[in-house]
């Protein structure tokens, strides 16, 4: 069985951008409006010389009664169930939101390895916020910019520990 890495997080944090960057494809739909990636999207990728399957998901929105949000939450839950490693993407420019906190407690219950990816750290000035995200309760916190391909080497190193 291939090693499966699920990319989850609330809408618009940059999951699909990261998926496209890591898989070197343009499979995922990147949009300014939240919640665009409805279904799970799979891609094969090579990380630290290992073949892995990346799974992009729609944004997780726990507790949202809207039908569309419920559907993407269900898809993301399936992806989490089949994942060996979880990349929990948050927005470094927005800070921790209540939805991030809800997601964090949901992910803690899964007892699977989780890397918190603080995305949108486009320049060194933004790196100061990184330590704030340890409050989510996970040991691995990595700051990146998926859009500007910043710090992806460190991300690969941290992922390699779990492959
Ligand atoms: P998703 O809903 O989590 O899949 O997020 P998307 O990948 O669709 O990205 C949402 C928006 O955030 C898009 O406008 C992206 O261009 C933007 N974005 C993604 N990564 C970064 C980043 O590292 N820095 C900045 N500034 N914007 C980003
Ligand atoms: Mg997306």
pLDDT at 39 over 90: no
ipTM given for this complex = 0.99
For residues 59 and 50, give the distance between their C-alpha atoms in angstroms, rounded to a whole number. 27
92 appears as a binding residue in the annotation: no
Q: How far is the CA of 14 from the centre of ligand 2 (A)?
A: 7
> Whole-model pTM above 0.95?
no
For residues 93 and 100, give the distance between their C-alpha atoms in angstroms, rounded to a whole number. 13
pLDDT tens-digit profile of 50-64? 999 999 887 666 665
123 appears as a binding residue in the annotation: no
Residue 75: the pLDDT is: 76
Q: Which ligand approaches the C-alpha of residue 33 most closely?
A: 1
Higher pLDDT, 60 or 12: 12
Residues 6+ apart with CB under 8 A from 99: 10, 60, 61, 62
Residue 30: the pLDDT is: 60
10 appears as a binding residue in the annotation: yes
Nearest CA to ligand 1 atom 9: 14
Atom of ligand 1 nearest to the CA of 37: 4
Rounded to 5°, angle at Cα 70 from 144 and 91: 15
pLDDT band for position 31 (50/70/90)?
A: low
8 Å CB contact between 91 and 12: yes
Please name each of the domains of the chain with its CATH number.
3-160 (3.40.50.300)
8 Å CB contact between 38 and 75: yes
Residues 6+ apart with CB under 8 A from 78: 40
Nearest CA to ligand 1 atom 17: 14
Q: How many other CB atoms are found less than 10 A from the CB of residue 46?
A: 11
pLDDT band for position 125 (50/70/90)?
A: confident
Residue 29: the pLDDT is: 58
Higher pLDDT, 90 or 42: 90
Q: How far is the CA of 56 from the centre of ligand 2 (A)?
A: 7
Quick one: 52 exposed, middle or buried, by C-beta within 10 A (0-12, 13-18, 19+)? Answer: buried
Higher pLDDT, 43 or 149: 149
Distance of CA 94 to the CA centre of its chain: 15
Q: How far is the CA of 28 from the centre of ligand 2 (A)?
A: 6
């Amino acid at each position: 069985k291939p090693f499966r890495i699920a990319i989850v997080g609330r809408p618009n944090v940059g999951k699909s951008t990261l998926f496209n960057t890591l898989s070197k494809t343009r499979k995922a739909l990147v949009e300014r409006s939240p919640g665009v990636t409805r279904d799970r999207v799979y891609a094969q990728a090579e990380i630290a010389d290992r073949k892995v399957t990346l799974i992009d998901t729609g944004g997780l929105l726990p507790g949202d009664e809207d039908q569309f949000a419920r559907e993407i939450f269900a898809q993301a839950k399936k992806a989490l169930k089949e994942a060996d490693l979880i990349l929990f993407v948050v927005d470094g420019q927005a800070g921790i939101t209540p939805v991030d906190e809800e997601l964090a407690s949901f992910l803690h219950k899964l007892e699977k390895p989780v890397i918190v990816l603080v995305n949108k750290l486009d320049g060194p000035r933004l790196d100061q916020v990184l330590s704030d995200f340890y409050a989510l309760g996970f040991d691995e916190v990595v700051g990146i910019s998926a859009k500007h391909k910043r710090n992806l080497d460190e991300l690969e190193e941290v992922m390699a520990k779990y492959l």
